[in-house]
Structure 1
Amino acid sequence: MRLDLIAIVVDDYDRAIEFFTDALGFDLVEDSPSRTNDGRPKRWVVVRPPGAETGILLARADGDRQSAVVGEQVAGRVGFFLRVDDFDEAHQRMKSAGVDFVTAPRTEPYGQVAVFVDIAGNRWDLLGPPLGRAVQ
């Protein structure tokens, strides 16, 4: 058993793909035509970090109810966690790509961390290993 996908509701497929692939360095795994449950066209768009098993389904908001949760899927909390081997390199690369960090990097017992906001407005932790230790 494994967690295969999580969904993030976004306003626009192409802008979300660009953010996740260009700014975060994820791979575009799939971008296929699909249909909603009532037969309207949509896309099945999956991105994931290189080498990761779990991916993100980028789901374009469909209707007012879904549009209302874009960027608020976890009620303003950090709800997504991106772990990297080289925190400083990833942080600098993402900042250079225009990623909006809402906190400065800090050190916690579990590692280095800085909070950033994705294209939809969701808050993420960028996580690195504790200073002086490699990722296990």
Structure 2
Amino acid sequence: MNRLGLVTLVVRDYDEAIGFYVDSVGFELLEDTRLDEHKRWVVVAPPGAKETAVLLARAVTPEQEARIGDQTGGRVSLFLHTDDFARDHDRMRAAGVTFEEAPRQEPYGTVAVFQDLYGNRWDLLGS
């Protein structure tokens, strides 16, 4: 084993999730392949990402729907690294991304928690 390829996020709707991650967060749509009448293989990632990407998986059962927005029990679940914190923080805020806090300094860099359109919590991290 030498890398982690995909991380799944359960979403309510493919197109609204693509819109948020591409238009608001700034990710690229890497793949959107129809698998059958209801299922698609949708992958997004930060521009230039070479390792891990996010698979957007539409919930199809009541159990999956109950997990939308709270896949980790309210904890920050994903960590988005940036080489220019101020640029990306400002761009995301202008695009309507909800940040829970003002940026703060930690020993590992500048960080601010934001929520995706479903309430999943992310860290935006810059060095």
Q: Distance in 1 between matches of 2:40 and 2:57?
A: 8
Q: What is the aligned partner in structure 2 of residue 72 from structure 1?
A: 70
Identity across matched positions, percent: 58
Question: Root-mean-square deviation (CA), in Å?
Answer: 0.9
Structure 2 counterpart of 1:13, one-letter code: Y
TM value normalised by structure 2: 0.95
For the 8 Å contact 1:116–1:126, the answer to whether it is kept is: yes
Alignment partners' CA distance in 1, 2:87 and 2:99 = 14
Say how many residue pairs are matched.
Answer: 125
CA offsets per residue over residues 26-70 of structure 1, 9 Å max, x none?
1100000114xxxx6301000001111211000001110000000
User: C-alpha separation between the residues in 2 aligned to 1:67 and 1:61?
Assistant: 5
Name the residue aligned to 2:93.
95
- Code of the aligned partner of 1:34: L
Q: Tell me, which stretches of 5 or more residues in structure 2 are unaligned?
A: none
Indicate which of 42, 48, 58 corresponds to 1:51: 48
Gaps of 5+ in 1: 130-136
3-state secondary structure, aligned to 1:80? strand
TM-score by length of 1: 0.89
**CA–CA distance in 2 between the matches of 1:41 and 1:18?**
18
- Residue aligning to 1:106: 104
Runs of 4+ in 1 over 6 A off after TM superposition: none
By how many angstroms is 1:100 displaced? 0.3
